């Protein structure tokens, strides 16, 4: 059995690509931004609102859903789509990044990552096979392989050892998924037979290691490929350099996903370097902290200057927040600690991101992406004085 997942390129402008991929739960236009729904929900948002903003795909987190409510419970409920009531495509990460971020609560061996839950201290082992099984229970449309996430900075020797282990784990992940597609496995109940799997390229900031990882990961054979281990503290120019060289080494006819990087500037710059998919907690997390993205730069809504500002948050935005409420009211809600503050702010930030993705896709199709990019970096991505 093979996955029904497919990807097609529709137009390009330089290295920027416009395309679409098909999944069992629908079509996603690329370049795409995936709002992060860590525990089966985009924080502070209803699914209806996320859909109305135009999000075609969201991201779920294997680590958190494994610990609570449990992937087996979700499988008994018919899978993550049915459990949470989201009918569009979904991607799940492997849980590796969360496990590796536990630092003093985990240990890494060739078998996998042993860790203690941040919830109750219970001990668990996340192996490549276990990561595949959990995501099979969740039934996402795209499942990520388990990889080792290396902290920055790291020596070439450490990055090489970590990258090579990630390649070995990728092979084990692929072998496990192919087995699940072709025969029943005791204790595992896949809830989405059409689930695709993406490999992840590692190697730190060392391009020779990135090249080796890309070649080895592509040789395993996945439905798509991700670039991991960036946006972890390295200089931004170095990140862009690694992204450009690594993306160029990946297959033209398959999607390329840059994991975790996500300022609006980063998205535009990395689309220009051949990336098709993005995710980041920035628009949702910043919203809850009062940091808002607008066409006039970033706004820190808690600042006193907005206490009597009757203007909309962004006069060029058509989202519900901007159509309905003033900066003064949004500041009041934030200062008062109202839950509605997080909802209205998140709605706007996600609208800004998703509108930006639509503008990017249109610019690529019209072959005006480069001029769009330059204008965006001059104006939209400019940090306002109070950010």
Q: Could you give the residue numbers annotated as active site?
A: 93, 279
Residue owning tokens 């799940």: 92
Q: In 10 A of CB 215, how many CB atoms?
A: 13
Provide φ and ψ at 365, rounded to 5°.
-65, -35
User: Whose CA is closest to 205, among 176, 239, 174?
Assistant: 239
C-alpha distances (whole Å) from 267 to each of 166, 263, 312 are 25, 6, 25
Give the span between the Cα atoms of 342 and 345, in whole angstroms: 5
Distances (CA, A) of 324 to 54, 293, 342: 19, 17, 15
Per-residue DSSP letter, 121: -
- Cβ atoms 145, 199 nearer than 8 A: yes
- Vertex 320: Cα angle to 314 and 323 (nearest 5): 55
* 111's tokens: 């078998």
- Distance set, CA 108 to CA 118, 132, 165, 166, 217 (Å): 17, 18, 10, 12, 21
Backbone angles phi, psi at 295, to 5 degrees: -70, -10
């Amino acid at each position: 059995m093979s996955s029904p997942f497919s990807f097609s390129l529709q137009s390009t402008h330089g290295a920027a690509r416009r395309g679409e991929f098909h999944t069992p739960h629908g079509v996603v236009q690329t370049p795409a931004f995936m709002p992060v729904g860590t525990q089966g929900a985009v924080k502070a948002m209803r699914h209806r609102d996320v859909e109305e903003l135009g999000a075609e795909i969201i991201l779920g987190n294997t680590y958190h859903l494994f610990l609570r409510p449990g992937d087996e419970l979700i499988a008994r409920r018919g899978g993550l789509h049915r459990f949470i009531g989201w009918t569009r495509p979904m991607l799940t990460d492997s849980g590796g990044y969360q496990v590796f971020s536990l630092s003093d609560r985990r240990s890494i061996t060739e078998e996998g990552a042993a860790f203690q839950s941040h919830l109750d201290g219970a001990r668990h082992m996340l192996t490549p096979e276990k990561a595949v099984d959990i995501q099979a229970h969740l039934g996402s449309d795209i499942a990520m392989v388990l990889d080792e996430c290396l902290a920055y900075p790291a020596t070439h020797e450490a990055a090489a050892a970590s990258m090579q282990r990630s390649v070995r784990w990728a092979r084990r992940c692929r072998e496990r998924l192919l087995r699940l597609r072709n025969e029943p496995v005791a204790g595992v109940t896949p809830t989405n037979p059409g689930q695709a799997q993406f490999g992840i390229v590692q190697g730190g900031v060392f391009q020779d290691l990135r090249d080796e990882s890309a070649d080895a990961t592509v040789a395993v054979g996945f439905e798509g490929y991700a670039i991991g281990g960036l946006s972890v503290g390295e200089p931004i120019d170095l990140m862009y350099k690694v992204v450009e060289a690594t993306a160029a080494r990946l297959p033209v006819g398959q999607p390329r996903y840059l994991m975790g990087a996500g300022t609006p500037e980063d998205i535009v710059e990395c689309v220009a370097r051949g990336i098709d998919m993005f995710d980041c907690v920035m628009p949702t997390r910043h919203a809850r902290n009062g940091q808002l993205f607008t066409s006039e730069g970033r706004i820190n809504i808690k600042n006193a200057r907005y206490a009597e500002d009757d203007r909309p948050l962004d006069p060029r935005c058509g989202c519900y927040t901007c159509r309905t409420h003033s900066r003064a009211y949004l500041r009041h809600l934030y200062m008062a600690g109202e839950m509605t503050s997080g909802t209205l702010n998140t709605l706007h930030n996600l609208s800004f991101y998703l509108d930006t993705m639509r503008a990017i896709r249109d610019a690529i199709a019209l072959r005006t992406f480069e001029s769009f990019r330059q204008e965006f970096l001059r104006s939209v991505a400019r940090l306002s004085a109070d950010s």
